[in-house]
Amino acid sequence: MRVLVVEDQVDLADDIGEGLRDRGFGADVAYDGASGIEKAMLYEYDVVVLDRDLPLVHGDAVCAALVNGHRNARILMLTAATLIDDRVHGLNLGADDYLTKPFAFEELVARVNALARRAPSTAPVVRHGDLVLDRARRRVSRAGRPVSLTRKELGVLEELLAAEGAVVSAEALLERVWDEHADPFSRTVTVTLARLRRKLGPPELIETVVGSGYRIP
C-alpha cells in the first residue's frame, strides 16, 4: 500500500511519513500543494493524506485536481478547522474523509487503512486456492495454517493477488510497496520474494516470468 502525505509543516510531514513506513506502508512526502499534485500525477497511490492549508496551491485545489484528474487514490483531508461548514466543503470537493488537527497518529493510521480497503476492486478478504489474505486484519493463512509475514512481504503478496494472474514487474512492486526513495538497482524485491515463497511453502504459488516479473496464476 502506498501513501502520499502532503503537509507544509515539515516536521509533522516527516513524522507522519516515517510513522507510516514503520507500519509497512510505502510513504512519500510533499511539502506544498504544487509538489503534491506533481507526485500524485506521477505515481499511483492508494491514499493521499492532504493538509487543507497548503502553500503554492491550496489543499482544496489539490483535492479538486486529483478528483478531476481521475486518480483512484482515496483522500484523507487534514484540517485545523473545527466548523462543520469547512469540513463539509472538503468532502463536497471529493475528499473521502477528514481528520481535525491535532490528531492521534493511531487514528490517522486507522483511517488510512479504512480508506485503502475502500479502494476500487479491493475486497477485504482475498482467496486464491488454499491461500486466504484478510486485508482488514492483515493476516494470511494457507491450507488453514497461519503465515507470519513482514509488512513488505504482505505488501508484495497483496500486489500480486490484486493483479489477478497478470505479470507484475519488479519495478512495479518496488514502486507500489516501497516508496520513491527505494533503490531501483537493489535486490530488495528479489530478497523479499524469496522469503515470501519460503514462508508460503509448497506447492509453489508465485511464478517467475523470466525477463518480465512475477505472477500468481
Which pLDDT does position 137 carry in this prediction? Answer: 75
Beta carbons of 76 and 44 less than 8 angstroms apart? no
CATH number (3.40.50.300, 1.20.1300.10, 1.10.10.10, 1.20.1250.20) of 125-215 reads: 1.10.10.10
Beta carbons of 43 and 21 less than 8 angstroms apart? no
Euclidean distance between CA atoms 4 and 32, whole angstroms:
12
Which pLDDT does position 116 carry in this prediction? Answer: 80
Which pLDDT does position 132 carry in this prediction? Answer: 93
The CATH number given to 2-117 is 3.40.50.2300
Higher-confidence residue: 23 or 106? 106
DSSP label at 135?
T
Q: Is 16 exposed, middle or buried (0-12, 13-18, 19+ CB in 10 A)?
A: buried
Location of each CATH 3.40.50.2300 domain in the chain:
2-117
Model confidence pLDDT, tens digit, residues 25-42: 889 999 999 999 999 998
How is 163-195 classified by DSSP, letter by letter?
TTT--B-HHHHHHHHS-TTS-TTSSHHHHHHHH
